[in-house]
Chains A and B, each alone.
Chain A
Amino acid sequence: MNRVPHSLIDELAADLAPVRPLRRARGIALVATATLVAVVLVEVIDGFWRGIATGQASPLFFIANGMFAMLGTAAALAAIRMASPQVGNSHEGTRWALAMAALLPVAALVVLGLQGDLGQVAHDPYGFGCLIAGIEFGGLTFVALIVWLRRGAPVSPPLAGTLTGIAAGSLGTFAHGLACPVDTLAHLGSWHVLPVVLGGVIGRITVPPLVRW
């Protein structure tokens, strides 16, 4: 069988120009830079919580923000990998990281529910501000990942979008978390988790049309 015209192959060969192959390392550098800029902006705009350095922060502060950083890293790496598709690529790691991070809101729900104190979440005066800040500081990561995916060839745009949103939300809430002195389970397990959830939803809806090819 030899029915595809040679002219097509000739045309494509004539149109050939050197390209710079997508290397994961450059994608990682791009996203790391975007996240680093977000962290610097947090320091410039809000200022890091000085209690982190003086030992005032609770263990939960480090556990929660560490989980957000890990989840964001796992999701960002998976999204970067999706720009260079391969049969055999697996994105299971992010699911486990997501399950790990879900422990935080589940723990908040169980503990506050048993204590009959779920209203604490709704009456948190800083909650909404943290939600917005988490999303805002994830914006740069969001854009960086979209730029990378557009240069590549993601073969599952909805998943790529969801991972992009989760990565941006997680790294954004991590960056903002460095400036937030409220380190209770009710606050971290709800308002700091919401940017991740909303990021995933926003990414799932908005990114596929931008990266589809």
Chain B
Amino acid sequence: MFDGYRLTPYDEMFEAPGRPRPHYASLLESLVELGGEELARRDKLADLTMRQQGITFTVYGRSSGVERIIPFDPIPRLISAAEWDRIERGLKQRVRALNLFIHDVYHRRLILKSRVVPPELVFGASGYRRVCVGLNVPRDVYVHVSGIDLIRDTSGEFLVLEDNCRVPSGVSYVLKNRQVMKQVFPLLFESYNVRPVDDYTDNLLAVLRAMAPAGCDDPTVVVLTPGIYNSAYFEHSFLARQMGVELVEGRDLVFDRGQIFRRTTRGLERVDVIYRRVDDDFLDPLAFRPDSMLGAAGLMGAYHAGNIGLANALGTGVADDKGIYPFVPEMIRYYLSEEPILANVETYRPLIPAHKSHILANLEHLVVKAVDASGGYGMLIGPASTRAEREEFARRIEANPRGYIAQPTINLSRHPTFVNGRLDGRHIDLRPFVLQGEEITVLPGGLTRVALPEGSLVVNSSQGGGTKDTWVLDHAPPRPAYHSFGNPHA
């Protein structure tokens, strides 16, 4: 099964050819025991389960087959208890700082006055919302749900690749992957002590209820979706179902005398908290894009009057802007007086003349990202680019230095992945999900995304990425049954 498996740093399973890392030893043994054929059979079974349950996402900008399932890889990704402890502390620290930053930006702006973050980057960020200035939100929590993308570099160090503080998606796949995994590999699962993930929706509901307007004891919570054609519709529906709340579209909501109501078969009924999966720009055609059909006219009025709770709060995009990203470690030092536990990926900013010349001279070694794009759209991967693409990006950077950042191409860690009937190394990342209500909690694990084409570094599902179940181990890993486990190449 491991025929021709190439070991390149950092490999998640093997520390040397034929020598698995301690927490992977038992998994490796079970896989070899199962054999390729059986693995293929179960892989197919997992695929079928996903399709029948309609666990799909929608790909934009392609004419054929709008609905697709995200390819699911049956080999789980393991994170040891010690590794996870550090990640968890790092994420809590980072989200706390990001939240303080957003509050500061819309209130006293101390961090701008102290010149720790350049004001022009904040006010020029596409996620900055002037309507939020001076606006108070319940408990001063802005980022209720965030997804912080982590990667591992060649030395095995976890680094933060980007923050997602607006409407991060993917958590439903974490929960579904786990369900499918338990069905398809019950024994494999049992042998490890894996931390459960299924209390996520309970925690999310608690976070949402906690932000109800003052004086509202039993708040009505709804999930707001753009509708069934949105790429993450499955997730919206799944979360509403798991929380036992209604899934609404913009056209279900009406604004009347300062409050938001939903249209029901018995007339209008009040809504207190909206978990919105619609971008800021589309929330209220009166306040933002007038052509938006996805929001509710008047929503901002109710928000300003304190009659409705919104998660995430409005204007959080200022914190996950790629132009702000390089300053997050400084934010942590500034607000918390702590050293960052998780480091950033080294980042160059074309606004700094020295950086710009470095970027332009080294385009073929760098990854260039547009600061206001996400999902793998609008980026240049230097080593895989053509001369024409590089020239195009050089022009764009010259014209709009504020609009781009560049990072060295990092060889993401690789993980054995089931492709074409055998196991081969594929690049992976990790998106853990962080909830912030009365306290900050981190879902153990998160979404491991895997770039399925050989050598590819792009893990986004919109670009052909797949997912793996992520197992955070509680305590020590099980010992393999045979200590003398041999060389997998044999």
Bound pair: A and B?
Answer: no
